[in-house]
Amino acid sequence: MFSNLATKAALKKVGLPTDTFDFSSWTSSDSSKPSWKKITKSQPTTAADSDSNSNTSKAWPEWMSVKSLPLTVQPWLTPRPPPIPVAEPPRVGDLAPLDRDRQLVLGNGRKVLVVFLRCVGCAFAQKTFLHLRALATRHSSAGLTCIAVSHSSAAATARWLDLLPAAGGGRGGRGAGSVQIVIDEDRAVYAAWGLGLGSVWYVLNPASQVAGFREKGWLGARVAGSLGKGAAGVVGRQAGTGGGGGGGGGGADADGNGNGPLTTMGNKWQQAGAWAVDGRGKVVWGGKAARVDDVLDLDAGARALGFV
């Protein structure tokens, strides 16, 4: 029925071979194997071919990987969990927590004001750090030790510190000042002190959004622009006696296998906090920030340690 000239002309017009529907070539001995080349450019993939190509088919193209996203986007992605469970935050009267790698060892006669920062570039982290730096300048000679813990990379933290304004509204150049810096890129120290990831409300509640619009200290884009990917660097002095606070400057993958978000710039969902610890290693003031815009009263912490 398909052998007439009209049918052949119609098939040719739509781009099909004229013998597409010629089934006479299907013999009874080989009826299960039609001539696929008549209809398709290549034979269908067999089960064996599927197995051999399974890894290739599951892989994302490089340009679609999480790592290909801009550094300014990475902090909004869910990071890998810290290597230890998130503990309860210490209360007044508790001994200061001791993290797994001994990066933050308090007590030993030192009076310490320790601040856990949000990601670099955050205006609220900037406001908190500038306050801490001012207290360190004022009271370090009297025995107050001020420590800032950053979960961003060493390179990003160093660049952010360089961009901060100097005291009195001057232009940058002061950096960390008298504040000791601990780099905790895997957030193990944060977890030991009860600081995990905040909820959507913790970050995006209306009050925090309004406060964020009023702030001018958003430096994330400048930090990311100066770093690129794979930047390396060192920052500040290490606190405590653990010796492991240097961190990696290159921005490790959050899941360790190359597919997770980069930790270079830290994470927007990370909770912040601050505590005052006396010379016996006991907490005398502090707690977790209630929201991202909750800038804790560090003056109260200094007073709790006897500094006015």
Tens of pLDDT, residues 4-63: 666 666 556 555 566 655 655 555 455 455 544 444 455 555 555 555 455 544 554 555
Homologous superfamily, domain 66-304: Glutaredoxin (3.40.30.10)
Q: Under DSSP, is residue 143 helix (H, G, I), strand (E, B) or coil?
A: coil
- Torsion 248-223-123-75 (CA) sign: negative
Q: Which amino acid is at 1?
A: M
Residue 176 confidence (pLDDT) above 70: yes
Q: Widest CA span of the chain, in angstroms?
A: 105
- In tens, the pLDDT along 66-116 reads 667 777 788 888 888 999 999 999 999 999 999 999 999 999 999 999 999
Domain ranges across the chain: 5-58, 66-304
Q: Which two tokens stand for residue 116?
A: 């856990």
Quote the pLDDT of residue 64: 55
Nearest to 106 by CA among 149, 71, 159: 149
What lies within 8 Å, CB to CB, of 230 at 6+ separation is: 250, 251
- In tens, the pLDDT along 12-26 reads 655 556 665 565 555
Nearest to 303 by CA among 181, 138, 128: 138
Q: Which amino acid is at 90?
A: P
Q: Of 63 and 213, which is predicted with more confidence?
A: 213
Quote the pLDDT of residue 269: 93
Give the C-alpha separation, 197 to 88, whole Å: 13
Percent of all residues in the chain with a pLDDT value above 70, rounded to a whole number: 65
Give the C-alpha separation, 180 to 150, whole Å: 11
Number of C-alpha atoms within 13 angstroms, CB side, residue 119? 28
Mean per-residue pLDDT for 119-137?
93
Mean per-residue pLDDT for 221-227?
84
